[in-house]
Each structure stands twice: as structure tokens, then as C-alpha cells.
Structure 1
């Protein structure tokens, strides 16, 4: 008997098939929430907890009024939450690699970029959910969007674009770290200083001069100021432009590095 040789899977995947495979894997990431509801709870409870704590514990001391502080801090909390949630992309990728999911996907005739792109797209939908949740809960507490629907949608679009660009740094960390615990530890050591040494939660005018100088160039400051202007009024064009330039810089620096590491591992 002559052994039958199976045809090798195609080396190149068409653009249409790549898009289809990416969306399928994005759906896989979203469906996992049904089997792991704690992921949705983390996504929902943590931002609400931060909102309540900062508003009612620190609001009176910082602004003299919890209502005034809520109006100031909610845009910054939106930024903080979006950037912290990029860590879930890194942790998810690292977990998939550690559990051998990427080894199984690599054996399939699919585009190598599909697993990475699929997870990023799924996390974008989660970002939108977290944004809507914080805005809705904030409005229950008394927050008011004074710029209308246009400002609200503009804030969402800017936040998602910048968060996606900055997520490439988290992706690189997730692909290079040896386990999810190290991903979380290293990522928090980067994100915490960025968010807390900015205008996200307090006015940088109260900082020491050296820290105020850093806050003036901190990308989180410009993004927080832009989101604040889009939601409650104020300067928008300059901080939004600087935020987009920072986003482009993160993409240019970290995306090629992350893709190179991803291709080696996947």
C-alpha cells in the first residue's frame, strides 16, 4: 500500500480569510466571559470601586466638595481605567502562551496575526463597555456631560485610539514575561506612576516643581485634559493632538517590537 500524503496547508492566507479568522478569535475571547464571569466582574467592579473611593474618600479633601471632584475626576478615572485594562491584554496573551493555546493555533492553517489581532479587537469592545459603565454610574452619582453627544462620542473615540496604541507596550510585556504574575507586577510598576503623576486625579499645580514638570509632558496628563475638555468643556485641540502624537509614538516604537517577538513565539 502506498501512503497517502496530505497536502500541506497554504503558507499564505488571503486578506479576507485573515479578517474572518481574526473576528472568529475575537469572538472566542468575548465568549470566554460566559465561562469566566469573574472577568466581566473585574471589568465592572474595579472601575466603580475606584470611582466611589476617590470621590467620597478624597473628593472633599481635594476639592472641598464631592460633587465638584466627581466632575473633575471622572474623565481622569476613565483614562486610568482604560490604561490599566490594557494589562488584561498582556495577561491574556501570556496565559494563552503558557497554556499552549498558541501552539495549537499555530498548527492550524490560519494567519499568524489573527490570534493577536483578535484579542486586541475583543479588548476594544471591553473598553467600550467599561467606558459606558463608568459614565452611566457617574451620572447616577451626579456627573454631567455638558458638551452633548458629540463630546461624549469624541471622548470615547480618542480614549479607545490612545489606549489601543499604548496597549502595544502591554502586548510586548505579555509576550516576553515568563508568567502572568510577572506581567502584572511589571505592568503595574509602569502604569501606576504614569497615572498618578498626571492631571488625571488632581491638579498638577499642587505638585513640587520637579514633579509638575514631569506631569506637563506625561501622556496621561494630555489625554486626561483632552477627555475632560470633550466631556465637560475646556481646551481640547492641543491636548488631543499631543495625545495622538504620543499614541503614534507608542505604535511606532512598541508595535514592531511586539510583532517581531510574537512571530518568534507563534
Structure 2
């Protein structure tokens, strides 16, 4: 999907508004189901559970890191449910999420286990995600990094930003294209309308979240429409029979690979 931030329409709502609305409408409905076809891991998060992770992560950013609106957070992460959490947490505090961004040019960095050497270039806060099943921690904490699984549990389950997060403020820096929160929510609504996405639809997506189409399919469109996403990491290692079973078992209505 081509990005031209200057020409995009904008909504008066932010991605955080979409999550609040989804929580008020039906907190128990599934929002994200994550499969890792290399490990066999499966995790399902309801809207309420996802919101809980987002609130804890946003409180960590705001209270421990002193993140303010406009701060830039590099996300060096693969397709994963915790990637979606960090994106939503950035938008909750008003930070600019920078997927695959240059850590040296960002105020903080969040990295998976295979990108820690790259992430060490950040002079600010550094968070390491083990990306282990059930949100497990590193066996040994990585030098120079905080371990997300160790740090996040103590933070509060509800989040209130110290400063208002406005839809006209930058929310995403994707390959040097800066998009506001209002533009992201407008894109989600437009995508849902063009593709006929309805409430209750379940989208299987293997698209990485460092791409706009993957971010929309895997998080923002489900939030905007009352749907859900089945995120599949390492889907290329699964055969067609496995994919057919997953579509049936997860009640998938759309497949994006």
C-alpha cells in the first residue's frame, strides 16, 4: 500500500479511541489470536486482555520511561501479539511508533531477541522481548536491556495519559512517512469499507506489522469493525493442509498472506 500522509483523510478519533470503544462494546470478544508455526504456540487475547496488556505497557512507558507525546519508539519486532500491544501502547501515550526504525535516532527501542545488537545503538531506554510462549522472560537478562516480561507485570491495569492524545498528532513513522492517529483510524475505516469487512469477521494475516497493510489487517481494522485477527508467524513453514485446518478451526473469513 502506497503512503502519502499529506493527502490522506483524517478522522477525529485516535487508535486509542478505537480500543476504548471496542472495550465498551464487548470486552469478552476475541480480538487477537496468535500462532507461531515454528513452535506450535497459540495465544488468544480478548479485547479486555489486550487492553490490560496495553495499559500495563503504557503505564511502564509513561511512569518508568517518562515518555511524552511525540517521543519516538523504535519497534524492532516480528509479527507477534506483543508487537500489537506495543503499537497500541505507543498510541495510548501519544508516542510515535517507528517499526524497524533506526534505534540511534529514537528516544527508546523495543527489540526481539534476534535484534538486540542492532537495538543497542539507542542511547535512550531499551526493552528486550523474549517472545517466548505465555509471555515468558529471558533465562538471562540481556546486558543493557530491561526484560519486558520482568518489568511489565507490576504496572497498573488501567491507563490515563498525563497529556491528551490528539488525532492530529503524529502516531506512526513508517519508512519515513509520518501518519497521525486520525489518519490511521481513517485508513482503517476506509480499508474496511473497500474490502467489505463486517463485525465478527476473522482475518488471518501473515503480513508483518512493519507494513501498513499488515498493521491495518492485524490490528486497526479489527478494532474499527468489531472483528478479530488471527496472526500467523512463520506461516511459510506450514503446509496447505495446516492452513486449511486453521481456517476452519479458527472460523477465519478472510486470508491475507
Q: Which structure shows the bigger proportion of residues in helix conformation?
A: 1
Q: Which has the larger radius of gyration?
A: 1
Q: Which structure shows the bigger proportion of residues in strand conformation?
A: 2
TM-score (norm 1): 0.28
